[in-house]
Amino acid sequence: MKTTIGLLCLITLPIAVIGFAQVLSAPASLKITSRAFSPGGKIPQKYTCDGSNVNPPLEIDNIPKATKSLALIADDPDAPGRTWVHWLAWNINPTTREISESSVPQNAVEGTTDFGDAKYGGPCPPSGSHRYYFKVYALDTTLALSSSSRKPALEKAMAGHMLAQGSLIGTYSRK
């Protein structure tokens, strides 16, 4: 009986330690909000292809002290065929608490979206209502990527460097 209990402890202790380590290494949560729309709410036309096609204002809270840079991905998982990328930006200063409407944070790099441009491209669903995710990542490094980089290259460069992440979802449908 003692051998069985001892063996059980030898098996479960490493599993418990591994599980605890995974909890400790899980990214913390950033809080992303916007004065333009509430979480899950409708994105105003101004920020879409039917309006001025400028980025909405975003506020970022709970940035870890060890953050060296922030990265942003805005995309539409409801697009036909695949997730459509609307905006990429990285090397955003970690002291940034707000990305103003129609602006790019100073010294940030914008990546190439699925519109083929290195700039914000607003919601423009071909039909129905789509969800748009504005995701921000706190990183422990800056990224050596050019503005011709696309989402897969950004995600690969961020791998293993995320300290925290958060997202804000908005919806939009055309008339």
CA dihedral 148→131→49→136, nearest 10 degrees, is: -40
pTM: 0.85
- Helix (H) or strand (E) holding 95, with range, is none
Q: Report which DSSP code applies to 94.
A: T
Give the Cα separation of 175 and 29 in Å (integer): 35
pLDDT (tens place) for every residue of the chain, 175 residues total: 555 444 444 444 444 444 444 444 556 899 999 999 999 999 999 999 999 999 999 999 999 999 999 999 999 999 999 999 999 999 999 999 999 999 999 999 999 999 999 999 999 999 999 999 999 999 999 999 999 999 999 999 999 999 999 999 999 999 8
The structural architecture, per CATH, of the domain 27-173 is: Alpha-Beta Complex (3.90)
Domain ranges of the chain: 27-173
CB 121 within 8 A of CB 53: yes
